[in-house]
């Protein structure tokens, strides 16, 4: 459980390392300026209804950045508070009524080695046959695989065989899963990503029908969309927003569907400040009888058991998988978060705490 160097004195204390918010980010998140590491000894004692969890694996998600602003949809992190992070770990101390010591639990543990939380805020970690425990944060995780499944199959009319689907952020965690799910329907899927390496991943690993490089200096996004989608776009799964959304709106087909999952291009200081870049081509929705609908995965909570079953079945059939990018050690957490927005990874970003 605890590493030997973490125990202090008679074994009743552990040395916790946690990342706290030092200041509100000004634009792009900076690990060197916006957060700081706190190192402190904490007693291995719990009140009734509390547990201490030794973190094993933490999920690094885009929503974390939005919570660092003063106003945030998911709730704002106070200055000096621990950065939020969903993860799983092993119970090393438990108050009355809590899970037994040694139980692997999951929940909002925060970016820290040892989390003291209410026992009601964690649950026994799921485990699926033929899948690693880390997949419960990725392919089978609420903020990744289940979000993608919900957006593709539950929010609007799902893609159909022969339709053209475009997915932005297609080399990321949610996007790569959404692209494969759309492909499983028999649709023709085009992924949008940044850089030749990521576009090669979309074509060679995910076997998508086309890839658009928004960083291409020779061809514009419009030109590439015209080349890969000559007959227009029927279904658009958007993780990025901004310019990409506007460009696809201009190519949306009659009866087309646009599902807004996120807007990563707008997360670095633009939200809740009147600075979000909205679509100027939104009237194409009216002209072509198309629809645009946003969602939060928790709005479809009652369908999540079906999503879990569906995802597991597709995975067993080889229709969907998820590449993992794992950084090592709790000290890597803020730098992993930064990579989410600077294009330094492919697939699901995780931090292996131990």
Residue with tokens 């009888």: 289
Q: What are phi and psi of 225, to 5 degrees?
A: -70, -40
Q: What are phi and psi of 86, to 5 degrees?
A: -85, 140
Per-residue pLDDT of the chain (354 residues; tens, 9 = 90+): 444 445 444 468 999 999 999 999 988 899 999 999 999 999 999 889 999 999 999 999 999 999 998 877 778 999 999 999 999 999 999 998 889 999 999 999 999 999 999 999 999 999 999 999 999 999 999 999 999 999 999 999 999 999 999 999 999 999 999 999 999 999 999 999 999 999 999 999 999 999 999 999 999 999 999 999 999 999 999 999 999 999 999 999 999 999 999 998 888 777 667 777 889 999 999 999 999 999 999 999 999 999 999 999 999 999 999 999 999 999 999 999 999 998 889 999 999 998
Q: What is the DSSP-derived secondary structure letter of residue 99?
A: P
* Whole-Å CA distances, 122 to 7, 108, 223: 24, 7, 48
Is the CB of residue 264 less than 8 Å from the CB of residue 296?
Answer: no
- Give the list of residues 6+ apart from residue 4 with CB closer than 8 angstroms, or none: none
Task: Give 290-299 pLDDT, tens digit per residue.
Answer: 999 999 999 9
β-pair type (13-21, 86-94): unpaired
Distance in angstroms (rounded) separating the CA atoms of residues 262 and 245? 11
Which pLDDT score is estimated for 312? 97
Is the CB of residue 210 less than 8 Å from the CB of residue 258?
Answer: no
Distance in angstroms (rounded) separating the CA atoms of residues 125 and 48? 21
Q: Hey, what are 343's tokens?
A: 């294009």
Distance in angstroms (rounded) separating the CA atoms of residues 244 and 170? 12
Cα atoms in the 13 Å half-sphere on the side-chain side of 78:
2
Residue with tokens 């402190």: 40
Q: Which DSSP string corresponds to 105-123? A: EEEE--SBSEEEEEGGGEE
301, 335, 268: which is closest to 26 by C-alpha? 268
Burial degree of 146 (CB within 10 A; 0-12, 13-18, 19+) = buried
Q: pTM for this structure?
A: 0.93
């Amino acid at each position: 459980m605890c590493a030997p160097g973490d125990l202090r004195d008679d074994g009743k204390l552990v040395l916790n390392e946690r990342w706290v918010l030092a200041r509100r980010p000004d634009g792009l998140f900076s690990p060197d300026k916006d957060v700081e590491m706190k190192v402190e000894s904490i007693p291995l004692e719990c009140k009734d209804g509390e547990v201490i969890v030794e973190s094993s694996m933490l999920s690094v998600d885009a929503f974390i950045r939005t919570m660092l602003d003063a106003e945030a949809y998911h709730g704002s992190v106070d200055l000096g508070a621990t950065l939020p992070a969903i993860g799983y770990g092993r119970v090393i101390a438990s108050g009355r009524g809590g899970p037994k010591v040694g139980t692997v639990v999951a929940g909002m543990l925060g970016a820290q080695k040892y989390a003291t939380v209410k026992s009601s805020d964690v649950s026994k970690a799921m485990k699926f046959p033929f899948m690693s425990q880390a997949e419960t944060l990725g392919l089978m995780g609420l903020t990744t695989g289940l979000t993608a499944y919900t957006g593709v199959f539950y929010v609007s009319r799902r893609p159909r065989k022969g339709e053209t689907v475009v997915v932005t952020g297609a080399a990321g965690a949610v996007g790569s899963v959404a692209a494969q799910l759309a492909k499983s329907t028999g649709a023709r899927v085009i992924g949008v990503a940044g850089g030749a390496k990521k576009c090669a991943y979309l074509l060679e690993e995910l076997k998508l029908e086309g890839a658009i490089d928004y960083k291409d200096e020779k061809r514009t996004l419009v030109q590439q969309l015209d080349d890969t989608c000559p007959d227009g776009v029927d279904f658009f799964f958007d993780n990025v927003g901004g310019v990409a959304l506007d460009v696809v709106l201009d190519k949306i087909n009659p009866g087309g569907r646009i599902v807004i999952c996120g807007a990563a291009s707008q997360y670095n200081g633009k939200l809740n400040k009147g600075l979000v870049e909205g679509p100027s081509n939104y009237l194409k929705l009216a002209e072509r009888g198309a629809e645009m609908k946003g969602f939060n995965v928790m709005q479809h909570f009652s369908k999540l058991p079906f999503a879990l079953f569906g995802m597991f079945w597709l995975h067993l059939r080889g229709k969907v998988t998820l590449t993992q990018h794992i950084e090592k050690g709790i000290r890597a957490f803020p730098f992993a978060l930064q990579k989410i927005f600077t294009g330094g990874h492919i697939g699901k970003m995780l931090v292996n705490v131990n």
